[in-house]
A and B are shown apart, each in its own frame.
Chain A
């Protein structure tokens, strides 16, 4: 399928970054891929079911610390640890969802705000979580034989491969859901709530399902983060409300209900600040009077503005702009009137 092609292309891009001049850029590239995976799950919740979650980053953090504790303190095998973390995430999603989804969708947003806040504080308070500070893991051992560490460059290429495989998996799963009766049900509850009920769709059950899937995808993203970066990340700098908002931005700006849009959104929101703002800041610092200038804060402003512009002017997201461009170019070639009338 086309996703295997996409995943392979992504892998080779990542590999070439690792072998190139600035291998540290590969970290940001891996982040783009990982956030795409999380965004795919969040898309099911926000784009298809119309619900906001503010705890996505918190669930990523839970899974990185969970993996760390299981692997370092209890010496659990990598795959088993991943499985435990995913099941735990699903269970937590179920609990939070059941408590909050009884009535209006706004409750989920408030409940996830609370979950994110409390989890952050909890991690900062206990030594088991390194008081919220980042913690590294020693190398990952597969099947008792191969072990991959984040230090050897060859190993990191394999780790990038693992992330790419994760990306393919995520795309395939969400694609299958969206094209199925479940996908239709998700769309119905966000766009035609009463009709959905009248046609036999249990809105509560599907909202719960969407939230659980989003949570599991967030945990999956966290597992891959830990795998590639070989560190849990820190509660303050990584798994905070800001990241949850950035992930929502990726879904919105990329294009709600579009799958390839998630990769586009991640590339825009993570890629542009990292690959444009930072060099631009250095460029500015080259000029005498500006040598201490800092563009800190601009990435958030950039992301926030994109969200607002998208909601107000391009609600279908960047992916629609690109497909419109494609249509216009195609129809100019074929001399047919271009109309956005047909569903793909």
Chain B
């Protein structure tokens, strides 16, 4: 294997890992603060990515501006879902019921994305949005022509992930998030505004998912379509479990590991074995499941001691 192939796989891994990390961090944020498993993470990201794609297409605004607008709608989406559905279910519903709630949200969002009435038909027409940086802009690295867009996505993700990490570790609101995550009742008794914390968690998760969608769509096999983030979401959940649901950043590291395994595996599967790349996914995820069988709390996680 020559070095240019390694470079290709490396940057592919970073790109995939970044997208999965963004989605995965959103899932963990919600899980730890809102105590809900958000299966709708992918759908929320996709529907707002549609907004960006449509605005860029219909109004000629740049993808950058469209993305900013979509982040605004994403913020609103997260807030609405938390305030309208998750919070009211907070006390009366069991954890399983909250999961089912998010499954219901998937159906509603999927339905909306399939609607064909008036402007909605145009809004949700599958298309290939432009990349942040045109695909023709490339840079030669060790024999491989790498798109600047890829580098940008990776850099943007690392920047966002680091910013959120610092925010959680160093600021007062970050402290509020950590306290709510470890014990919401105690947090409320201490005066932490837990309702705002969960609202922010949902809003931020929605925005992260949207960026993931907009980054992924230009080069996705079917472009921007309702199922855009399903594959990513599977990886994101595996990253969350593999990295340990108990920490915020174990899953992020796991996301990059999975990104690397998938990129390398798929390349190997199609180039060396001549088989469809899905087989690589299958093997990798099976291996992760087997590892999880022996280490159920992930490679970074610890078992929480539950009070009986």
Residues of A within 8 A of B (CB): 46, 50-52, 54, 98-100, 102-103, 105-107, 109-111, 113-114, 117-118, 121-122, 125-126, 190, 194, 241-242, 245-246, 248-249, 252, 293-308, 311-312, 315
Is the CB–CB distance between A297 and B238 below 8 Å?
A: no
Given A110-B237, A300-B111, A307-B100: A99 and B105 within 8 A (CB)? no
Nearest-CB distance from A328 to chain B (Å)? 24
The residues of A that contact B115 with a CB separation of less than 8 Å are 294, 296-298
Whole-angstrom CA separation of A77 from B158 in the bound complex: 58
A245 to chain B, nearest CB (A): 5
Some 9 contacts from A to B, beta carbons below 8 A apart, are: A50-B96, A51-B96, A54-B39, A102-B296, A106-B37, A113-B234, A302-B111, A304-B110, A305-B108
Are B104's CB and A299's CB within 8 A? no
The answer to whether the Cβ of B183 comes within 8 Å of any Cβ in the partner chain is no
- A283–chain B nearest beta-carbon distance, Å: 15
B289 on the interface (CB 8 Å rule)?
yes
- Return A154 CB to nearest CB of chain B, in Å: 38
Q: Within the assembled complex, what's the spacing in Å between the Cα atoms of A111 and B288?
A: 10
Residues from chain A with a CB closer than 8 A to the CB of B112 are 297, 301
Cβ A99 vs Cβ B293 within 8 A: yes
User: How far is A102 from B96 in the complex, measured between Cα atoms in Å?
Assistant: 17
Which B residues touch A307, using CB under 8 A? 100-101, 103-104, 107
Question: Counting CB contacts under 8 A, is B173 at the interface?
Answer: no
Contact yes or no, A125 B116, CB < 8 A: no
Decide yes or no: A122 and B230 within 8 Å by CB, A311-B89, A311-B104, A312-B85 being known contacts. Answer: no
Chain B residues, Cβ within 8 Å of A126: 276
Instruction: Please report the C-alpha to C-alpha distance between residue A190 and residue B238 in the assembled complex, in whole angstroms.
Output: 24
Interface check B113, CB cutoff 8 A:
yes
A-B contact sample (11 more), CB < 8 A, given A194-B308, A300-B107: A99-B290, A114-B289, A117-B234, A118-B282, A121-B278, A245-B107, A299-B111, A301-B111, A301-B112, A312-B92, A315-B97
Partner of B108, one of A99, A107, A118, A304: A304
Q: Does B214 contact A (CB under 8 A)?
A: no
| Chain A contacts for B106, CB-based, 8 A | 241, 245, 304
Interchain Cβ contacts within 8 Å, total number: 144
**Distance, CA A156 to CA B114, complexed state (A):** 33
Contacts of B85 in A (CB 8 A): 308, 312
Report whether A100 and B289 are in contact in the complex, using a CB–CB cutoff of 8 Å.
yes
On whether the beta carbons of B230 and A241 are closer than 8 Å, the reply is yes
* B100 contacts A107, C-beta separation under 8 Å: no
Q: Are A304 and B107 in contact (CB-based, < 8 A)?
A: yes
Distance in angstroms between the alpha carbons of A98 and B226 in the assembled complex: 32
Q: How far is the CA of A248 from the CA of B234 in the complex (A)?
A: 19
Give the Cβ gap from A121 to chain B, nearest Cβ, in Å.
4
Contact between chains at B281 and A118 (CB < 8 Å): yes
Task: Assess whether B5 is interfacial by the CB under 8 Å rule.
Answer: no
Contact A249 B89 (CB under 8 A): no
**Beta-carbon contacts of B288-307 to A below 8 Å, as 1s and 0s?**
01101100110000000000
Which among B103, B276, B289, B292 is the interface contact of A248 at CB below 8 angstroms? B103
- Decide if B185 is an interface residue (CB 8 Å cutoff): no
The docked-state distance in angstroms from the alpha carbon of A242 to that of B116 is 18
Q: Give the nearest-CB partner of A117 in chain B.
A: B234
8 Å CB contact of B113 from A99, A106, A297: A297
Complex alpha-carbon distance, A305 and B85, angstroms = 11
Q: Do residues A300 and B114 form an inter-chain contact, with CB atoms below 8 A?
A: yes
CB distance from A54 to the nearest CB of B (A): 8
Answer yes or no: B190 CB below 8 A from chain A CBs: no
CB within 8 Å for A308 and B308 given contacts A99-B290, A106-B37, A117-B234: no
Contact A125 B234 (CB under 8 A): no
Q: Is B189 an interface residue (CB 8 A)?
A: no
Q: Check A311 against B108 for contact (C-beta < 8 Å).
A: no
Whether the Cβ atoms of A312 and B237 lie closer than 8 Å is no
Instruction: Find chain A residues with CB under 8 A from B230 CB.
Output: 117, 241
**Is B100 within 8 A of A248, CB to CB?**
yes
Are B278 and A52 interface neighbours, CB within 8 A? no
Q: Which residues of A contact B99 (CB under 8 A)?
A: 52, 106, 109
B198 is an interface residue with CB less than 8 A from chain A: no
**Given A52-B96, A105-B96, also A312-B88 (CB < 8 A):** yes
- Contact status B114-A296, CB under 8 Å: yes
Instruction: Judge whether A296 and B116 touch: CB under 8 Å.
Output: yes
Within 8 A of A (CB), among B183-204: none
Q: How close is A125's CB to chain B, nearest CB, in angstroms?
A: 4
On whether the beta carbons of B110 and A242 are closer than 8 Å, the reply is yes
Known contacts A102-B293, A297-B115, A307-B104; is A118 also within 8 Å of B96 by CB?
no
Nearest B-chain residue to A241, judged by Cβ: B230
Chain A residue nearest in CB terms to B101 = A311
